């Protein structure tokens, strides 16, 4: 019998990518993949004709079980819930095509949260991970016809809810588009200066800011919509707490956060915040800020090239 680890490891990236998209949390995704490995180790592997299908099916079923408790926790979550941020989206791509990491965008992950667990699984397995509907049916223990309906409903919901006109960064490169970097730098300067007029120019009219503190650090308890309200919020935070966005011993790591232009703010004790910028042309459509320390721990070991043009920003 072959070494179980040698067979398992080539599939780890796909399994982790599937689990993260199913659960929206890297820590939970890693737990799911570890459980899949334990089941693979205990299985009668001589009878497994297709290790890929076995491992993807096993991981999917583990995630479906975990979603039940995860959804219960999120109903009691304090303030807006955002997925755990990831920097290295290429490591979670379904295969070597790094451009497919775009489907890790925060807006899409939030849409996936509105689907039923089975719709989410059918959509991901078929549309993202290229499972045939016969394979999806085997994984979900449903008929092919039922799985087609699940995927169709999910696809229609994603198509309607997904934002239009959003600029897609180079998700797999880890670098920032020059235009995006300039926009982020201008936004940072305006935020720190409390320049309301400049912020209004940089924000789309329907701009939104969502901050996730999980009730553990200070953050807005509701999403804020509209350029004027977002700008006033940023200026007011800067006026009341000048150190809210930046302190002298902080360090910045620039790159992509869930495939969007973003930044991690590091303190000597570890990451304290990530900000992802959803950009539409020359303006910022949405800001997703994660400050919940539980969702930032996994980023402490992430290594990202530091941008030479360091700019203080939220």
Per-residue pLDDT of 163-178, as tens digits, reads: 655 555 544 445 678 8
pLDDT of residue 305: 37
**Domain 178-301 architecture:** Roll (3.10)
Tokens of 273: 């915040």
- Give yes or no for residue 132 having a pLDDT over 90: yes
Check residues 144 and 71 and name the one with the higher pLDDT.
144
Query: What's the Cα-to-Cα distance from 173 to each of 9, 98, 101, 269, rounded to whole Å?
Result: 23, 8, 10, 27
CB 258 within 8 A of CB 110: no
pLDDT of residue 131: 96
Q: What is the DSSP letter of 244?
A: S
Q: Which of 246, 313, 299, 229 is nearest to 25 (CA)?
A: 299
Q: What is the pLDDT of residues 223-241, one digit of tens each?
A: 999 999 999 999 998 877 6
The top-level CATH class assigned to 4-161 is: mainly alpha
Confidence class for position 75, pLDDT limits 50, 70, 90: confident
Task: Please count the other Cβ atoms lying within 10 Å of the Cβ belonging to residue 248.
Answer: 6
Matching fold, domains 4-161 and 178-301: no
pLDDT of residue 200: 96
Contacts of 249 (CB under 8 A, 6+ apart): 267, 268
pLDDT of residue 172: 42
CB 304 within 8 A of CB 87: yes
**Domains in the chain: boundaries:** 4-161, 178-301
Calculate the CA 132 to chain-centre distance: 25
As a whole number of angstroms, the distance between CA 74 and CA 60 comes to 20
As a whole number of angstroms, the distance between CA 33 and CA 8 comes to 10
* One-character DSSP codes across 103-121: GG-HHHHHHHHTS-HHHHH
H helix count then E strand count, the chain: 11, 6
- Give yes or no for residue 79 having a pLDDT over 90: yes
């Amino acid at each position: 019998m072959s070494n179980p680890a040698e067979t398992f490891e080539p599939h780890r990236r796909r399994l982790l990518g599937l689990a993260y998209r199913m659960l929206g949390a890297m820590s939970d995704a890693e737990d799911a993949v570890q459980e899949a490995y334990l089941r693979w180790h205990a299985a009668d592997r001589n009878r497994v004709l297709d290790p890929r299908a076995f491992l993807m099916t096993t991981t999917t079923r583990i995630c479906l079980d975990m979603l039940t408790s995860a959804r219960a926790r999120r109903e009691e979550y304090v303030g807006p819930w955002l997925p755990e941020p990831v920097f290295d989206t290429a490591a979670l791509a379904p295969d070597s095509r790094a451009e497919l990491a775009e489907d890790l965008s925060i807006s899409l992950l939030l849409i996936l949260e509105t689907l039923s667990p089975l719709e989410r699984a059918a959509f991901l397995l078929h549309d993202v991970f290229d499972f045939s509907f016969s394979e999806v049916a085997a994984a979900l223990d449903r008929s092919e016809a039922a799985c087609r309906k699940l995927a169709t409903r999910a696809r229609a919901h994603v198509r309607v809810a997904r934002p239009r006109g959003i600029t897609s960064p180079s998700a797999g490169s880890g670098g920032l588009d020059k235009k995006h970097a300039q926009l982020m730098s201008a936004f940072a300067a305006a935020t720190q200066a409390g320049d309301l007029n400049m912020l209004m120019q940089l924000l789309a009219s329907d701009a939104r800011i969502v901050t996730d503190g999980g009730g553990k650090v200070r953050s807005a308890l509701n999403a804020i919509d509209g350029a004027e309200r977002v700008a006033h919020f940023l200026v007011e935070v800067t006026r009341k707490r000048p150190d809210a966005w930046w302190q002298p011993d902080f360090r910045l790591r620039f790159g992509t956060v869930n495939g969007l232009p973003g930044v991690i703010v590091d303190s000597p004790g570890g990451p304290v915040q990530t900000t992802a910028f959803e950009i539409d042309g020359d303006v910022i459509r949405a800001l997703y800020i994660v400050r919940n320390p539980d969702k930032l721990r996994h980023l402490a070991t992430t290594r990202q090239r530091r941008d030479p043009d360091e700019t203080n920003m939220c």
